[in-house]
């Protein structure tokens, strides 16, 4: 999770990182010397599908990786990129070449020196077709990165205008153990921020190449950040401890960081109240107003959008031909979107201080003219039932007559279920159509979405850096995180043009044109703009929750409870 080095200064007026200091406390554990035990238990909300930096796509795994690994850069208290594993860097005048120098004191958790080759290996591993990294497209900023990643595709599936390339052609090269030279396709103002993102973390070749399950076991989960894995009890807890080999370990106060994996929000809050958990996010929606009132819960900005996504691929046809025919009609998707009263959902269902989403890109990034990029409402926040009915009739389903029953899939959690039930009712009441709700546990749900084994599903995106591009390149044909399967050469060309455009004003204009295409095609059905809703004990200090949704524990510590 990261920010543009140049752009973020003005963006942070909307999205500011916050140290969370409030909450109700319980008796604090002490050691044999009478000192407060420096241990925090945080509920991830689900067991991560993977904590391999190249394969991670979710915020839960991002939390784990971000506290266990460190990139060339890290993010400061305002989410600006600062030196991390690199102790210096230089940028060429044309903005295309970066030269980084690795810290002499940067070590892996097993004591071996971190070298420039660890970054070259990790980045090329993420791009390697056989790795099947959904985040490989985040490496397309590198010279020939996309060409290498698409080298295994048939000619008809390769992106037009992208030259074929080999691993040796990719713009990252360790010239010696301490020097890494990076060459970009185009100047990228937020590239330094990307270097703090999980996909850009270093990985050891001798570890990852010799054991496909390396990221599941303490003995092989070798990391270079503030914490290292001690134990992983599946579906229960992951225990990390302070990494004494970390170059900045003297400033890490926390000794133990436990990640619980309770998916049920009610159970998570009960565990918190019983003193078994110190921190959690996304408490039960019905409890949020009371938790905020008594100071236990803090709501902070989050640069992300909660939305629904339709399957636009042939896989949907295989699952249910009639349902696929309906959902792949743009008029149907627009009707479904217009039939939703987003104001009602945020006021009466989600209750976390969210705002109705009427575009894909949420508020939180400013253009050169000082205006927020998210200045256009593509839908009325309260919906437009009359227009929705008209569009549904034009699509061949007047009053919902003849409309096939759709199945909406979401990951287990009362919050998602409550919102889905509210939308289900709106679609039935306003359009006369029936929708079945189907829930799956998190790891299964991610795979279902990725494999396109659904008709309509819950989705959402928390930006990787504070720029509209983090949302808009998500829906390009080559994006591994494009769960809709949307493919539009005109749209792809717009995104590529925006990446090449050096004039900030012109670049933003192109990105607006790109979002116009997405919203005209109703590729996604936005519901609301996320917030960070965190419950934390009052004696837990220094935990930082980013507007990008990540939780950082490098500055965390525990004091005696009052």
CATH of residue 504's domain is 3.10.105.10
Is 68 part of any domain? Answer: no
Cβ(7)–Cβ(15) below 8 Å:
no
Q: What is the pLDDT of residues 395-453, one digit of tens each?
A: 999 999 999 999 999 998 878 999 999 999 999 999 999 999 999 999 899 999 999 99
Is 537 contained in some domain?
no
Q: Does 315 reside within a domain?
A: yes
Our count of domains for the chain comes to 1
Question: Does some domain include residue 340?
Answer: yes
Residue 489 counted as domain residue? yes
**pLDDT per residue of the chain (562 residues) written in tens, 0 to 9:** 333 333 333 333 333 344 443 333 345 676 666 789 999 999 999 999 999 999 999 889 999 999 999 999 999 988 899 999 999 999 999 999 999 999 999 999 999 999 999 999 999 999 999 999 999 999 999 999 999 999 978 877 788 878 899 999 999 999 999 999 999 999 998 999 999 999 999 999 999 999 999 999 999 999 999 999 999 999 999 999 999 999 999 999 999 999 999 999 999 999 999 999 999 998 999 999 999 999 999 999 899 999 999 999 999 999 999 999 999 999 999 999 999 999 999 999 999 999 999 999 999 999 999 999 999 999 999 999 999 999 999 999 999 999 999 999 999 887 899 999 999 999 999 999 999 999 999 989 999 999 999 999 999 999 988 899 999 999 999 998 999 999 999 999 999 999 989 899 999 999 999 999 999 999 999 999 999 999 999 999 999 999 888 999 999 999 998 7
What is the domain range of residue 500?
A: 302-531
Sort strands 435-440 and 406-411 into parallel, antiparallel or unpaired.
parallel
* Tokens found for residue 289: 């107003």
**Residue 233 is encoded by which pair of tokens?**
């009890």
Q: Would you tell me how many other CB atoms lie within 10 Å of the CB of residue 247?
A: 19
Residue with tokens 């999205």: 15
Whether residue 13 is contained in a domain is answered as no
Are residues 179 and 97 in contact, defined by beta-carbon separation less than 8 angstroms?
no
Which one, of 365, 441, 440, 435, lies nearest residue 403 by Cα? 435
The reply to whether 419 falls in a domain is: yes
Sign of the torsion angle spanned by Cα atoms 268, 273, 274, 275: positive
Tokens of 333: 């998707």
First to last CA, the chain: 34
Name the one residue in this structure whose structure tokens are 């200090």.
541
Q: Could you tell me if residue 8 is inside a domain?
A: no
Q: Tell me if 135 sits within 8 A of 185, measured CB to CB.
A: no
């Amino acid at each position: 999770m990261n920010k543009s080095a140049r752009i973020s200064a003005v963006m942070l007026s909307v999205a500011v990182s916050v140290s969370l200091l409030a909450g109700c406390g319980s008796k604090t554990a002490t050691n044999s010397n009478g000192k407060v035990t420096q241990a925090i238990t945080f509920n991830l909300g689900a067991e991560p599908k993977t904590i391999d930096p190249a394969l991670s796509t979710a915020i839960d795994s991002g939390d784990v990786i971000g506290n266990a690994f460190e990139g060339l850069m890290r993010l400061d208290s305002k989410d600006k990129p600062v030196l991390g594993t690199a102790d210096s860097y230089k940028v060429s005048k044309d903005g295309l070449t970066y030269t980084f120098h690795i810290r002499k004191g940067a070590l892996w958790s097993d004591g071996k020196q971190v070298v420039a080759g660890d970054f070259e290996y990790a980045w090329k591993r993420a791009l390697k077709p056989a790795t099947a990294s959904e985040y490989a497209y985040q490496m397309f900023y590198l010279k020939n990165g996309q060409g290498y990643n698409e080298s295994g595709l048939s000619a008809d599936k390769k992106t037009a205008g992208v030259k074929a390339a080999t691993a040796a052609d990719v713009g990252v090269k360790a010239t010696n153990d301490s020097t890494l030279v990076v060459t970009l396709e185009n100047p990228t103002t937020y590239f330094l921020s990307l270097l703090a993102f999980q996909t850009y973390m270093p990985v050891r070749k001798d570890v990852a190449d010799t054991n496909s399950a390396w990221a599941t076991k303490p003995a092989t989960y070798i990391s270079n950040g503030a914490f290292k894995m001690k134990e992983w009890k599946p579906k229960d807890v992951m225990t990390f401890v302070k990494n004494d080999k970390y170059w900045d370990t003297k400033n890490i106060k926390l000794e133990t960081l436990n990640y619980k994996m309770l998916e049920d929000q009610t159970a998570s809050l009960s565990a918190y109240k019983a003193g078994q958990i110190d921190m959690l996010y996304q408490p039960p929606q019905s409890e949020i107003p009371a938790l905020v009132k008594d100071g236990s819960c803090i709501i902070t900005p989050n640069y992300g959008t909660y939305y629904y996504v339709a399957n636009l691929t042939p896989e949907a046809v295989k699952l249910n031909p009639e349902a696929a025919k309906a959902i792949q009609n743009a008029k149907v998707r627009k009707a479904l979107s217009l039939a939703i009263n987003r104001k009602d959902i945020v006021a009466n269902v989600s209750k976390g201080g969210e705002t109705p989403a009427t575009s894909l890109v949420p508020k939180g990034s400013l253009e050169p003219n000082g205006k927020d990029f998210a200045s256009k409402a593509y839908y009325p926040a309260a919906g437009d039932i009359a227009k929705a009915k008209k569009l549904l009739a034009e699509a061949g389903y007047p009053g919902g007559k003849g409309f096939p029953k759709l199945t909406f899939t979401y990951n287990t959690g009362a919050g998602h279920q409550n919102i889905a039930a509210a939308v289900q009712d709106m679609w039935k009441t306003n359009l006369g159509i029936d929708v079945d709700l189907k829930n799956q546990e998190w790891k299964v749900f991610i795979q279902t979405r990725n494999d396109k084994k659904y008709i309509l599903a819950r989705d959402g995106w928390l930006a990787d850096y504070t720029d509209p591009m983090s949302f808009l390149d998500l829906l390009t044909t080559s994006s591994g995180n494009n769960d809709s399967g949307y493919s539009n050469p005109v749209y792809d060309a717009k995104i590529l043009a925006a990446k090449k455009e050096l004039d900030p004003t012109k670049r933003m204009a192109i990105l607006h044109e790109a979002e116009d295409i997405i919203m005209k095609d109703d590729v996604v059905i936005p519901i609301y703009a996320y917030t960070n809703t965190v419950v934390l004990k009052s004696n837990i200090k220094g935990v930082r929750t980013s507007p990008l949704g990540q939780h950082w524990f490098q500055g965390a510590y525990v004091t005696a409870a009052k």
